[in-house]
Each structure stands twice: as C-alpha cells, then as structure tokens.
Amino acid sequence: MNEKRVIHQENTPEKVSSLLYIMSSDFRVENNHALYHSYNLAKKYSASLHIVLLKEPEENDRNNTFFEHGIKNYKQIFDTYADDVSHFSSFNNTLKKVIKKADLIIKDKGYLLEEKAIEKELENLISDLDIGLEYVESNTLVPVTVTSNKEEYNARTIRKKIHENKDAFIDPVFEGEPDLTYAEKAMEIAQDFVSRKLKKYHLKNDPSLEYTSNLSPYLKYGFISPLTIIRLLFPINNDNKEDYFEELVVRRELAYNFIFFNEKYNQFDHMTYGWAYDTMEIHLGDKREYIYTKDDYTSFNTHDPYFNAAMKEMVHLGKMHTYMRMYWCKKILEWSPSYKEAYKIALDLNNYYFLDGNTPNGYTGVAWCFGKHDRAWKEREIFGKIRYMNANGLKRKFDIEEYVKHINKETEQS
Ligand SMILES: Cc1cc2nc3c(=O)[nH]c(=O)nc-3n(C[C@H](O)[C@H](O)[C@H](O)COP(=O)(O)OP(=O)(O)OC[C@H]3O[C@@H](n4cnc5c(N)ncnc54)[C@H](O)[C@@H]3O)c2cc1C
C-alpha cells in the first residue's frame, strides 16, 4: 500500500493497545486501504481492533434502504478482521465513548462539508487526550491531496497530474476476499461492464442505449473502489479504456478536487467562474418563455417529453442517463425565474432523488451546467455565454423517442 494515502493528523501515542477504524465512506473489504492499514497496525502493536461503520441517514429513504441492504452482512464480513464491529448512524454519545477508549483512530478521509464537520468534531473530542488520528484516502485512485494542492481549473489542468501519479497508486489490497453484499454486487456489475459494454462505451452519450456502467451508486458508498475497476481493465485491449479512465478517474477526481479545495462549493455565489456570473448578470432579465416549479418537474408536467422522461427516470428509478443529466439541468436553468433558483432546484432534486446524489460528482455536475470546468460559448438568450442544449440536439443525435418509450416502460413496472 502506498503510504501517501495516509494523512497523519494527530501523533500516535507510544503505547497502542486499542485501535479504532471508523469506516465512513469506503464500505468494502477489497481495495479498502484504511481497513488494510488498521488491520496491519493492530497486528504490529498486538492491539485490539474495533471497526465502526458510521453513516448518517439521507433525506430519501430509498437511499438509506440501498445502503442498509448493501452492508447487511457487515458483522459476518468484518468479524474476520476485528475484535469488535458496530454500526452507528450518527456521531452520538455512545460513539464518543467508544472513541475515547481508543489509543489510535484511523478514519476514511471525508470530502463533503458534512464529512469534514464530523472530522472537526472528532478532532475536538480527542484534542486534550493522548489519542492518535490518521485519515486514509482510499476513495479515489490518486489521493486528492497528492494530485494537487489547489483547486484545479478544469479537466485539462488536472489530467496531467493524475496521469503522472496514477501508477504509484496501483497498490491493491485484500483482493478477492469475501465482501459486503453490495461490494460483491458491484464487482459483478463491473465485470459485466468490462466484458460486455466497454466495447460500446463510445456510444455512452446515447440515452436510447445503455452502455455506461451504472456503477455510480456503488462508487458513492465505496462498495467498489476505482482501483478495482481499473485493474479489471488492465487485460482488456480496447480503445474505450482511455475514455472510461477519463470519466472514472479524471472527471470524478476533478469533482473531488473541487469539493475539497472550495469549501463554498454548494453556494450559488461561489460555485462557478467570473465569466459565468458576468454573463448571468447580463441575461437575468431575458424573457423566459416557460417558467416551471419544482412540483411541475416532479409531476412530469412540462411541455418537453424528453425532460419529463428524464424526471421519471429520476423520481421512480433514482437515476438518469448521463447525457440526460446535462440536458435536464440546462433546462432547469432555462425555465427558472433566476439562475440562483435554478441552481437550488437542480441541486435539491439531484441530492434527494439520485441514488448517487450527495456526492462530489453531484455538486460538480450541477455547477458544470452553470459553466464550472467549462468554457464560454457563443452568446445567446438566457444562457448568455454558458453552454446551451436543446431538444433539437437530442432529436438530431439520438433516437430520443426510443429513450422515452424505454423509460415509460421501465417506470410503469416500478
Ligand atoms: C447535472 C449533472 C448532475 C450529476 N449528478 C451526479 C451525481 O449526483 N452523482 C454522480 O455520481 N454523478 C453525477 N453526475 C456525473 C455523471 O453524469 C454520472 O456519474 C454518471 O451518469 C453515472 O453513470 P455511470 O456510473 O453509468 O457512468 P459511467 O459512464 O459508467 O462512468 C463511470 C464512473 O465515472 C464517474 N463519472 C462519469 N461521468 C462523470 C462526470 N461527468 N463527472 C464526474 N464523474 C463522472 C462516475 O463515478 C461514474 O460512475 C452528474 C452530471 C451532471 C451533468
């Protein structure tokens, strides 16, 4: 394991007899470097190891059910590695007592504000005590803090840094060992993607086809590591490998970089670039032909059948085709009375309905619709210089009616 994955936050006391691993984002065994690190330190110090699974509930019960189902065999799986295993859904007093009993704490590194808030609470709790604390970055291929020490401008600026570092982080651990219910399922989905869909991945943008991996909810809960997926790609000889790497590693890790270095990533006034704010100011007064509310969206009540189908996919199935996510968010920008309202509606829907919502990717995807990580385009009504998308583009490029038919059929059954 590459030691650069470890961030030493508090010094380790001289004597360690009790170790605590707080698993809060990488819910798996395979390629979980924090688990591997904890397990080896426990052996080194002949210390006991307590594993705590910590995950605060989300607003949408569908997401909570997905997670609970995914970890349902956790006791049986982690018993092999630890002396004690427990599961908490908040940073409560019982957990605080467990924490205070440890000599050394290892925790998955968090990136979102709510994850950083828990880390702050943890650090405050142990600040006067002789307890060591280390964070481990196992959620991205290259640790966010290794790739860069600042917010990167776009994919072009981060790509080279990731490629320079990537080989040093092909450091697999615990491969092929029995795993959590959804870690096993994620592996099956990844293998199916690599053997069947990857060769058609150049068609990933077509909403009437299904050539993307659908791994995003599993990546969100850390049921699978990007490293695991990358290693499945090694023996494959196919040009689409590079495209997939670009999405899974470059784009995803650009999102993590944004969230990690910009603590105001979720605020309208701080999430995009100066040129985008300037153009929005100029076009704020442009006449909007359609204005819709959040309720119109969730009751599929707009004039646009493609948008309505995308909303059905979101509301009923908790997902949306990659290309339709861009279209969907651009339409909300176009049909809202102000950009600020549009941003709030899009983010609220994204984080409530998507199984893969509440992630760096979600905040970044929505910000992208407002110019983040993009460039200025030809000026037009409402969008100004922000990239524009319209229904004619969907009709011209894809069999978009087939997408609508397919979603109607799938959601009728749900
Ligand atoms: C408005 C908008 C909102 C989005 N909201 C989310 C969200 O809430 N959660 C989320 O995980 N992704 C989000 N994305 C990014 C992307 O659309 C999804 O990751 C992708 O659709 C997931 O499907 P997949 O796993 O089949 O993707 P694949 O094409 O199989 O890609 C593999 C993995 O690469 C990563 N990835 C792919 N595309 C992107 C991208 N553009 N940016 C960053 N990472 C990417 C994802 O982790 C994905 O699972 C959003 C994009 C936009 C434009």
User: What pLDDT score does 90 carry?
Assistant: 97
Closest CA to 256 of 120, 106, 116: 116
What's the CATH number for 144-261? 1.25.40.80
Taking only the tens place, the pLDDT of each residue in 154-202 is 999 999 999 999 999 999 999 999 999 999 999 999 999 999 999 999 9
Residues at CB less than 6 angstroms from ligand 1: 204, 212-216, 219, 247-248, 251-252, 255, 322, 325-326, 329, 350, 354, 356-357, 359, 361-362, 365-366, 368-369
Closest CA to 169 of 146, 194, 148: 146
Closest CA to 173 of 38, 83, 79, 298: 38
User: What pLDDT score does 63 carry?
Assistant: 98
Q: How does the average pLDDT of the chain come out, rounded?
A: 97
Task: Indicate the domain borders of the chain.
Answer: 3-136, 144-261, 268-412
Q: What percent of the chain has pLDDT over 70?
A: 100
User: What pLDDT score does 86 carry?
Assistant: 97
The domain defined by 268-412 folds into DNA Cyclobutane Dipyrimidine Photolyase, subunit A; domain 3 (1.10.579)
Cα R_g (the chain), whole angstroms: 22
* Gap between the Cα atoms of 208 and 374, Å rounded: 26
Q: What would the 3-class secondary structure string for 292-357 be? A: CCHHHHHCCCCCCHHHHHHHHHHHHHCCCCHHHHHHHHHHHHHCCCCHHHHHHHHHHHHHHHCCCC
Closest CA to 248 of 272, 231, 262, 264: 231
Closest CA to 101 of 83, 116, 117: 83
* Gap between the Cα atoms of 22 and 87, Å rounded: 10
pLDDT band with cut points at 50, 70 and 90 for residue 258: very high
For a mutational test of ligand 1's pocket, the pick from 203, 205, 232, 247, i.e. the residue with the most ligand atoms closer than 8 A to its C-beta, is 247
| 284 pLDDT more than 80 | yes
* Gap between the Cα atoms of 31 and 226, Å rounded: 9
| 328 pLDDT more than 80 | yes
Closest CA to 18 of 105, 81, 140: 105
What's the CATH number for 3-136? 3.40.50.620
The CB density around residue 277, as the number of other CB atoms within 10 Å, is 18
